[in-house]
Homo-oligomer: A and B are copies of this chain.
Amino acid sequence: MNNASEAEISTERSAYTQSKEPGPYTVPGFRQYTANLGVRDASDDFLCIVSEGDVRSDGVFTQSHFAGPSVLICRRHVGANPRALVAISKNANVGNGPPGLDDANALVAAAARELALPPSAFFLASTGVIGRRYPIDKMLAGMKGFGARLGQADFGAAARAIMTTDAFAKVSKRRAGAATIVGIAKGVGMIEPNMATLFAFFFTDAAIESDALRRTFRSTIDRTFNSLSIDTDTSTSDTALIFANGLAGAVAPSPSARSLDEVALELTQMIAIDGEGATKIIEVRVHGASDDVSAKIVAKAIVNSPLVKTAVHGADPNWGRILMAIGKCRDVRVDPDRVSIAFGDERVYPSFDRPVDLARVTRIMDAAKVVVKVDLGIANGAATVWGCDLSDGYIAINSSYST
């Protein structure tokens, strides 16, 4: 059906799985430990990363009403510049009531004893099945003595330790002056299968003050991970964290913000290309909206439409579905007479005044990244969002038994 061969697609896709900056992926001053605690199987399910000295740190978390104990603990600690992270995979510890909160507190207390830090120095992140208790005794036993076995941070290994059904470890790096910024992420992985959870953790030796860190970090997350949607479903455990230990000294704010953006954007596209059943990245750029918020609403309506996603999957130049998706954004100002829509640089609407080269649109839709451009023609609001196509692979992954 597609014009591009499987091999071409595969080569094209692989461009989105690797950091443009080569490894090693480490940052001075961070130490790390990974292990299997028997949460579910024999693969690594425990990651601890800790800064040797004080850090500035920040975090943003799922807004789900059912945010689990890990997220609740992070929210309690986030104002105190935690310097350590414990991440558990294969069990989200969500929906387990008071016993689940007790388990989470016990994990943090054990890690705090090992590293001789107060519990408030820790972020905790958990991903996996909902409604099942941790095997907490086994986990606490496995953590005994890990504080003495920390090594230099190796974020490639850290990214592998938080993988679930991710097809590849997601790590990205950029330089910012004398400093390094590394990010790792996981998702849209399934545990057994369960729901996708997004983790994104960033580490840098740049010196950044708390206010600037918070402002820069939240702006970056908003324009990258918060502009990504695989399937419209929001996990109870989504967590993004940043740690800056200052060892490389101050760097100019603008390049460091740009480097952080680039790391986050690279990870965002890695998540998209590794979405459940995904074969392509969809990038939707909306401009000409009455404001940026309106642009993002329209862009998300397009990237989330199952009819658009399936059309992209089949490289079907069915541009009426883009028009439909814009049309359903009732709360946004849209004037149909001013709208124009393009796939790549091929305009498909309006088209009643000229023919659309549908064969060319099909070729554009055959790429590993399909760019949809919408101009609402009203004002200067703009937004770019990312997602992926919807394939039978998604159905196969998500319709099988969790038990």
Contact = CB atoms under 8 A, between A and B. Distances in A.
Secondary structure type dominating chain A contacts: loop
Interface of A: 1, 62-67, 92, 94-100, 129-131, 133, 193-195, 231-236, 304-307, 310-311, 313-321, 323-330, 334-336, 348-353, 358, 362, 390-392, 394-396, 398-403
Contacts of A335: 65
B195 A233 contact: no
A323 B96 contact: no
Contact of A232 (B63, B129, B195, B305): B305
A327 B317 CA distance: 36
A64 B395 contact: no
Nearest to A96: B352
Given A96-B352, A131-B319, A311 B390 contact: no
Nearest to A397: B310
B99 A399 contact: no
16 contacts: A1-B401, A64-B328, A65-B329, A65-B335, A95-B320, A95-B350, A131-B320, A131-B348, A194-B321, A233-B328, A236-B323, A317-B402, A358-B403, A392-B392, A392-B395, A394-B395
Contacts of A66: 323-324, 326-327, 336
A130 B358 contact: no
Nearest to A330: B63
A231 B324 contact: no
A310 B100 contact: no
B352 A310 contact: no
B398 A130 contact: no
Given A1-B401, A352-B96, A395-B392, A328 B194 contact: no
B323 A231 contact: no
Contact of A306 (B63, B64, B306, B330): B306
Given A305-B232, A324-B66, A100 B313 contact: no
A396 B402 contact: no
A343 to B, nearest CB: 13
B392 A318 contact: no
B398 A195 contact: no
Contacts of A313: 395, 399
Contacts of A232: 232, 304-306
Nearest to A400: B314
